[in-house]
Amino acid sequence: AVLMACPISRYLEQELENSFKVFKIWQFEDRNQFFNTHGKSIRAVVGNATAGVDAELIESLPKLEIVSSYSVGLDKIDLVKCREKGVRVTNTPDVLTDDVADLAIGLTLAVLRRLCESDRYVRSGKWKKGDYKLTTKFTGKSVGIVGMGRIGTAIAKRSEAFNCSINYHSRTQKPNLNNYKYFPSVIELASNCQILIVACSLTEETRHIVNREVINALGQKGVVINIGRGLLVDEPELVAALVEGRLGGAGLDVFENEPEVPEELFGLENVVLLPHVASGTVETRKAMADLVVGNLKAHFMNKPLLSPVV
């Protein structure tokens, strides 16, 4: 049987149910009783960016063979434990890259051109009375990307079309990206760009990679865009910098403690807040679900996994 660790989508549930016996953990009030009764029949878990698979869950499922995550990020899955127990892990790379990169650019434009504020200006009837404030140009700006993986590369490509200079930081310099300037530290990157886009995965090394020093290096005209994970940014420091005017603006799709968002941000017009929706299009979410199911089918048919991580 397959265990769903949280509700994801009706489509995914149906696709899973077409091929497997499916347990939905949220339908069982008494978890211990559930694991006692059904634990031994579960050979696969499906989770996502929120409902991960921790050591405790892995230990409760003695027959677990595979974790198929409906996400590209694996920060909520205990990969060490999975390796130790010989549990395979798959994610959903590639299929969501375009949407996440599109949204990074969308957030950048929304912050710089004040799209949400302008929409509120029209809806509230202020246009008839007031005068419209000028905004900030995006084309030609200096963009700094933290994390030059699939998503970072797709953001860079889009930024090139806006004639932006591309700077990046990643663990190692990429040999084939000579048009982009590499910075071995995030502070140096932030000192040399106006728009800092956070696009790396969350690991012990990248937690709070955007800290007070980085935010200060970015400065009053700088903007932070985060489409990765909330914990990549020191959130209280980000909030303080925005409230104190030490940072120019922020576009955030992810937060430290979702769905909690620091309320100090609600009154700031130079901030755009989204509910973790970068991959949230009908097309991409279907492709993600198909990949989750495809990985499970491959595993149980003894075929190579489509997107293995462990």
Q: Which of 113, 208, 212, 276 is catalytic?
A: 276
Asked if 289 touches ligand 8YV (CB under 6 A), the answer is no
Asked if 105 touches ligand 8YV (CB under 6 A), the answer is no
| CB of 94 or CB of 264, closer to ligand 8YV | 94
Q: CA 293, 97, 152, 242: dihedral to nearest 10 degrees?
A: -100
φ/ψ of 78, rounded to 5, equals -80, 90
Kindly write down the DSSP assignment for every residue of 3-41, as one continuous string.
Answer: EESS---HHHHHHHHHHS-EEEGGG-S-HHHHHHHHGGG
Asked if 233 touches ligand 8YV (CB under 6 A), the answer is no
Give the pairing type, strands 165-169 and 223-226.
unpaired
- 158 has catalytic annotation: no
Q: Which residues sit opposite 150 in a β-bridge?
A: none
Asked if 49 touches ligand 8YV (CB under 6 A), the answer is yes
- 258 has catalytic annotation: yes
Q: Which of 38, 276, 286, 297 binds ligand 8YV (CB under 6 A)?
A: 276
Binding flags for ligand 8YV, 66-95, as an x/- string (CB under 6 A): ----xxxx----------------------
| CB of 199 or CB of 218, closer to ligand 8YV | 199
Rounded least distance, CB 35 to ligand 8YV, Å: 24
DSSP state of 179: T
| CB of 222 or CB of 228, closer to ligand 8YV | 228
| Amino acid code (one letter) for 187 | I
Asked if 226 touches ligand 8YV (CB under 6 A), the answer is no
Q: Which of 5, 23, 45, 48 binds ligand 8YV (CB under 6 A)?
A: 48
Cα-based angle 247, 252, 256 (whole degrees, multiple of 5): 100
Euclidean distance between CA atoms 135 and 279, whole angstroms: 28
Euclidean distance between CA atoms 195 and 219, whole angstroms: 10
Q: Residue holding tokens 């149906």?
A: 14
Asked if 150 touches ligand 8YV (CB under 6 A), the answer is no
Residues that bind ligand 8YV (CB under 6 A): 48-49, 70-73, 96, 276, 279
